Amino acid sequence: MEEQNQHQHGHDHGHGQQHWNERYASAPRLFNAEPDETLVELADHLPPGRAIDLGAGEGRNALWLARKKWHVTAVDLSDIALARLAAEAAEAGLDVDTVAGDIVEYLGRGDRYDLVVLAFIQWMPEERTRLLSAASAAVAPGGHLFLIGHHIASLGKGGPPQPERLYTEESLNDSFPGLKLLRLDRQERAAGDIGVPMVDIVVWAERSTTN
């Protein structure tokens, strides 16, 4: 994804609330404001329901979903990012529930959603496996999960510098228990953090209506 200012690396778990708050405090806006194009393409035709944006940041995707009449919960460690999201929601007359806290902990409540969104959450493999498993469990029958993130092919061009934090198709094949993968592929994005084409991983998965 593109950051508005000079970017630093280190997206993840491991870095806690203070790390993320410092990053957000360093700029009036850290990440771009437009919703993810692929999310728009995939979710535009869905009937609105309950959605959760995990690691929502300043809320570009949560706000788009709220505009499309979804009932959105936005979870993030950073209260600074969530305050920006809430201010934009209030200005636009939108209702988004914000939760300041850890996403895995929040998923532990066991609530289910018609759409689960993970955008540019670049964790280390072990923690990522736990996160994706919990995120999959949070998809309601007939619901969908959307994941977009930096692909390994973007190493050195944008996203975190540690290769383990970047996504590969193989590493994601078995990461969504109980869900059917409708899409697991890579796609190019015109300009990344440093103005060169980037490669993203895209996952679109669904839970059948009967489980």
Ligand X SMILES: C[S@@+](CC[C@H](N)C(=O)[O-])C[C@H]1O[C@@H](n2cnc3c(N)ncnc32)[C@H](O)[C@@H]1O
* 2 near ligand X, rule: CB under 6 A: no
* 97 near ligand X, rule: CB under 6 A: no
Say which residues have a Cβ less than 8 Å from residue 80's Cβ, sequence separation at least 6.
21, 24, 25
* Contact flags string 55-94 toward ligand X, x per CB under 6 A: xxx--x--------------xxxx--x-------------
Q: Which residue is nearest to ligand X (CB)?
A: 57
Q: Is the distance from CB of 70 to CB of 90 less than 8 angstroms?
A: no
* 20 near ligand X, rule: CB under 6 A: yes
Q: How many residues interact with ligand X (rule CB under 6 A)?
A: 19
Q: Which stretches within 68-178 are classed as H helix? A: 79-91, 103-107, 125-137, 169-172
Hey, CA dihedral for 86, 87, 89, 95, is it positive or negative?
positive
* 11 near ligand X, rule: CB under 6 A: yes
Shortest Å distance, C-beta 203 to ligand X: 14
Q: Is the distance from CB of 75 to CB of 101 less than 8 angstroms?
A: yes
Please, which residue, 76 or 114, has the CB nearer to ligand X?
76
Q: Round to whole Å and give the CA distance between 85 and 56.
A: 9
What residue ranges bind ligand X (CB under 6 A)?
Answer: 1, 11, 13, 20, 31, 55-57, 60, 75-78, 81, 102-103, 119-121
